[in-house]
Amino acid sequence: MQIIRGDDYQSWVYSNEDDLILVDPWLTKKQVFPRLNWLLNRESTSEAYILKHNLIDQVTHIIITAHFSDHLDAESMNLFQRDIPVYTTHEASKSLLKLGFTNLTVVDINESYKLNSFRLKIYKAGKPYNTTTFSYSLNDCRSKVFHEPHMFNAELKVRDVDACIITVDMVKVLGLIQVSMDHKQAQAAQSKLNAKYFIPTGIAPNRTKGFISYLLRIKESYNKIDSMSPVCCEVGDSISL
């Protein structure tokens, strides 16, 4: 399995044999809250890996972990054929149906799904997104990666993964509701997962602009994680497990 950082925020690409899985694709120059640019927006700092290498037609599966606009970007999704297999949440499926996608699987917690040479296992996300999003692992029979886009659920019984993709920059809404982990929480999650490789996601949240950004308290730790020996830190960086 090859893990590739898909963009400068939180998109991921997994490659194995003839399969190319794309997670939470953001392929546009600017990501915006639907029709409300003033509410929330973020500009990319480099071209998405999938576009740079002309791989749109080679993507075999898409995983959308949440219905939020920074995970489900409609303009990016419009670049794909409408019958491509998409694995997602109940809420996100509503938006995808409106976009015309026909091959949707609404995933269930603790269930597994065969994606050709991969096996996708769904886990309950940490609070406060435990009812609207999910974390997951991908296994290709030789290696396993775990990905939690927001807050790690400490109750999970997931162990001995080869790599973990988790947040490292703390974000709190109104200074009260934490939606992204800090580096100490990330270290604890990596330890619990017994993950050999640490890969940061949701990086540089302070690049998010718009009215909603004023409601967020952000404490970036990205410059404090050298001791965790992070990998796949720049767009296009990859690691083979």
| Domains of the chain with bracketed CATH | 2-240 (3.60.15.10)
Report CA Rg, the chain.
16
Predicted TM-score (pTM) of this structure: 0.94
Taking a C-beta distance cutoff of 8 angstroms, is the pair 50, 167 a contact?
no
Strand partners, 166: 148, 200
pLDDT at residue number 220: 83
| Burial (0-12, 13-18, 19+ Cβ within 10 Å), 164 | buried
pLDDT at residue number 128: 95
Q: At 191, which helix (H) or strand (E)?
A: helix 183-193
Q: Mind listing the pLDDT tens digit of every residue in the chain (241 residues)?
A: 999 999 999 999 999 999 999 999 999 988 776 667 778 788 888 999 999 999 999 999 999 999 998 899 999 999 999 999 999 999 999 999 999 999 999 999 999 999 999 999 999 999 999 999 999 999 998 999 999 999 999 999 998 999 999 999 999 998 889 999 999 999 999 999 999 999 999 988 888 888 888 888 888 876 678 778 899 999 999 999 9
Taking a C-beta distance cutoff of 8 angstroms, is the pair 180, 9 a contact?
no
pLDDT at residue number 35: 66
pLDDT at residue number 222: 67
Between CA 53 and CA 141 the distance in angstroms is 27
Number of other residues whose CB lies within 10 A of the CB of residue 139: 18
